[in-house]
Amino acid sequence: MDRIDEQILRLLRENAQITSSDISKQVHLSVPAVSERIRKLEDTGLIRQFTVKLDREQLGLHLIAFVMVQIEKTEHIAGFRETVMQADCVLECHHIAGAYDYVLKVAVKGTADLERFISETLKQVEGVSKTNTMIVLSSMKEEM
């Protein structure tokens, strides 16, 4: 991981569709040298995935919320994790330290779907004793 790898990563993050030929011009290295570096960054796992960012609004997902969850007993965690992994509306799930045990980032069409997710999916999980929802009004920064 030298200066040039950092430059390549910056260019790929900005636009993963950039050609090796274009990167080659910017980093002053031959095309095979650039391809080889990208291959190695993938092999070492530093580049985890090539993906696309979609416009959630256009997908009809107008409501983002953070839902904090408290789990009563450790034996209920496996069931909770399974529910969360299967729920398409859960974008993120983090185990956290503090008053709550987990924080979820959820994307749904609107308040009706959010209510349904919280009361019919989340609260039905054994051990889920308490939740606290923060509705997102707007997002001014959202990177990976």
Partner DNA sequence: AATGAAATGATTGCACC
Partner DNA sequence: GGTGCAATCATTTCATT
Contacts to a copy of itself by CB under 8 A: 9, 12-17, 44-55, 58-59, 64, 66, 68, 81, 84-85, 90-98, 100, 103, 134-144
Site for DNA in 7-66 (CB under 7 A): 19-22, 28-33, 35-37
What minimum distance in Å lies between the beta carbon of 45 and DNA?
A: 16
Reported residue count of the chain is: 144
Smallest distance from DNA to CB 27, Å: 9
Q: Quote the CA–CA distance of 42 and 135 in Å, as a whole number.
A: 36
CB 118 within 8 A of CB 106: no
Which burial class, exposed, middle or buried, applies to 11 when counting CB atoms under 10 A from its CB (0-12, 13-18, 19+)?
middle
Nearest distance from C-beta of residue 60 to DNA, angstroms: 20
Could you tell which of DNA, a copy of itself, none binds residue 78, using a CB distance below 5 to 8 A set by kind?
none
Tell me the Cα Rg of the chain. 20
